[in-house]
A = this chain, B = another copy of it.
Amino acid sequence: MNLVLIPLLLVWMAGSVAAQTATRPDLVRVQGNTFVTADGKPIVFRGLNASDPDRLEKSGHWNKAYFEEMKRWGATLVRLPVHPTAWRSRGKEPYLQLLDKGVGWAEELGLYVIIDWHSIGNLKNELYQSPMYETTHKESFEFWRTMADHYKDNTTVAFFELFNEPTVMGGKLGTCSWTEWKTLMEETITIIRANGSKAIPLVAGFNWAYDLKEVANNPIKAEGIGYVSHPYPMKREKPWADKWTADWGYVAKKYPLILTEVGFCGPDDKGAHVPVISDESYGDAITSYCDTNKISYVVWVFDPQWAPMLFSDWNFTPTRQGRYFKKAMQAYKAGKP
């Protein structure tokens, strides 16, 4: 009977050793307008958006293979969008266990992680685009208090994206001035740092995280943070470059900038909706803009149902934008900037 058990034990030990030998990655921090590692070396990220870990777990896809595939596509960074509804329904401890698994796989594969509080709406008024994005000031603060404490010694979790997409929906959710938004973000950053976290807070602007014009005159009062834009193709008419510079790109001259959602699909593709409809010319424009200006980006979304999707089935068969970005991201490994 002992003899039978030995092979299993060896397998178990091997797994254990592998996990232990995976070295935790260098702490990422902010230096001027760039993200840098411990040795001061700048890093520009090329990443992929996972779907909500809660959803992936329910459909049986929250596993290391999912992370391995993202790495194979060229990702150096994975964004984990935590929907407030999922956070509440699963519960704090079970959701943390889910995140711990994902962060563990990322670490084993040398991928960095963004934890993203995936709400859309006007946090000031606690009014949201739809029920799945419902949260409160208190829940948002508590979420970051929990994340900051839980991951304070974990350098894999490099980024905390404080609120996915701030928007008043043209007034349908009331008003929120930049000063009011700034206050909420600064309060969140205070909480994160006082709870011992060194993760880099990422702050988005209005218009569904597109617009960063207010940063010019009134930046967030906190050192060591990054800014976010989600410049989907239909936010502006082609040609894009000058508009992007005026709306958010100029920020990259002074602060680290990361486009935590970019992506496109054709008008007839599954899930096509405003503002994501475009073609490969958008892919060329956004990757070239980011490469030139050393801006990090994360493509939305590594899922076969959420749109714009990157693959169409669980063999990870790339969609149209999947083919585009898989090729683009793999090219960096091969030596692109």
**Which residues of A are interface residues toward B (Cβ below 8 A)?**
125-127, 137-138, 141-142, 145, 169-175, 187, 190-191, 193-195
Contact = CB atoms under 8 A, between A and B. Distances in A.
A332 to B, nearest CB: 38
Contacts of A138: 125-127
Contacts of A169: 194
Nearest to A187: B174
Given A127-B138, A145-B172, A174-B190, 10 more contacts: A125-B137, A125-B187, A126-B138, A127-B141, A127-B142, A169-B194, A171-B193, A172-B195, A175-B187, A175-B190
Nearest to A138: B126
A174 B126 CA distance: 19
A147 to B, nearest CB: 13
Nearest to A195: B172
A141 B170 contact: no
A137 B170 CA distance: 19
Nearest to A188: B174
A146 to B, nearest CB: 11
A236 B174 CA distance: 37
16 contacts: A125-B138, A125-B141, A125-B187, A126-B137, A127-B141, A127-B191, A145-B172, A169-B194, A170-B194, A171-B190, A171-B193, A171-B194, A172-B194, A174-B190, A175-B187, A175-B190
A180 B202 CA distance: 27
Nearest to A134: B138
Contacts of A145: 127, 172-173
A174 B188 CA distance: 7
Contacts of A191: 127, 171-174
A138 B173 CA distance: 10
A141 B171 contact: no
Chain A to chain B: the 6 pairs with minimum beta-carbon distance, closest first: A171-B194, A172-B194, A174-B187, A171-B190, A126-B138, A174-B191
Contact of A174 (B141, B170, B175): B141
Contacts of A193: 171
A20 B109 CA distance: 66
A137 B174 CA distance: 12
A142 B145 CA distance: 28
Q: Which of A145, A170, A175, A191 gathers most chain B CB within 10 Å?
A: A191
A137 B173 CA distance: 12
A132 to B, nearest CB: 15
A157 to B, nearest CB: 18
